[in-house]
Amino acid sequence: MQRFLNDPNEVVDDTIQGYLYHNHDIQILPQNQRVVKLKKINKKVALVSGGGSGHEPSFVGYVKRGLLDAAAIGEVFSSPTAKSFLDAFKAADQGEGVACIFGNYSGDNMNVKSAILDAEDEGINVRYVVSRDDIASAPKEKQEKRHGIAGLYYMWLVAGQVADRGGKLDSVCNAAQKAADNTRSICVGLHELILPAVGHPNFHIKDGTYEMGIGHHGEEGLETYPIEPANKIAERMSNALIDDLDLKSGNEVAVMLSGLGSTPISEQYILLRGVEEVLNKHKIKTVRTDVGNLVTSLNMNGAALTFMKLDGDLKPLLPSTSYS
């Protein structure tokens, strides 16, 4: 395995330190090297998230004005500790309450809820909203079991707008929940990822095939297909999301196409073109597109497609700023 690494066991700390060299408006907490925060946080409802490393720029890369005020960072594909979430709440809180928006994984759920109880003891009001956008991780009738993946990005955008406009904690969380309820994602993989500390894949995608519905942590997909033209792959992904969201002619959506780590940007745009053709065929209007390595999965060769169904409440909350 040829990678730009020092010690594979130090990849998270090296990543954070490198990010700090490039971004001078954030800092790590002296007492907790796994918490990143804005140096100056405005007096408003604070937005906090967190999760395992390996999805960069999530989570550290979205500690930005208009998005997250602080983030707790875990080991690769592992939840941050309850202490890290608590320290992030304390660092971000400006007396207006904290909205914690994170993905639905057992470790994150357990540690966030534990940290919230400790925060309450310290007089910090924290509410949480969970993303469950990965349609491949559980069937539609068991949506509560679905994992949160790339859809977090739109939840942060929407919640950040409400917070920056002076919205109270309930309003911020309600907006994030509405974004979550109207957002779905699916991933495809062309080649498996390799964990830095392990040095080999945990499953294998055969040459000449791709897998639909792979997990963001390198889990095997639901279905395997012979490799097809990009337009056909885009069609399969798009139709799965259209069906799950029950999109109809005349609906409006925001579309995110994220590479998973080693997918060329050119191929991401080729996929996006195919997605747009499908949406046009269904007479579904795209209001916003975000393309790039926005939520990755180490060095996975593949893509995540996300749709957020828009209405009169969500559409005005999409900022003009794009982070892609």
Among candidate residues 147, 191, 216, 217, the one labeled active-site is 217
* Amino acid letter, 321: T
DSSP H stretches of helix in the chain: 11-22, 82-92, 106-121, 152-164, 169-181, 230-245, 265-281
Q: Kindly write down the DSSP assignment for every residue of 226-270, as one continuous string.
A: E---HHHHHHHHHHHHHHHHT--TT-EEEEEEEE-BS--HHHHHH
Q: Is 147 a catalytic residue?
A: no
Contacts of 287 by beta carbon, 8 Å cutoff, 6+ apart: 252, 253, 254, 310, 315, 318
Tokens 């957002």 locate to: 183
Cα 75 to Cα 13, 94, 187, 195, 217, distances in angstroms: 9, 28, 22, 11, 12
Task: Identify the active-site residue in 55, 147, 191, 216.
Answer: 55
Q: 55 catalytic, yes or no?
A: yes
Catalytic residue numbers, as ranges: 55, 217
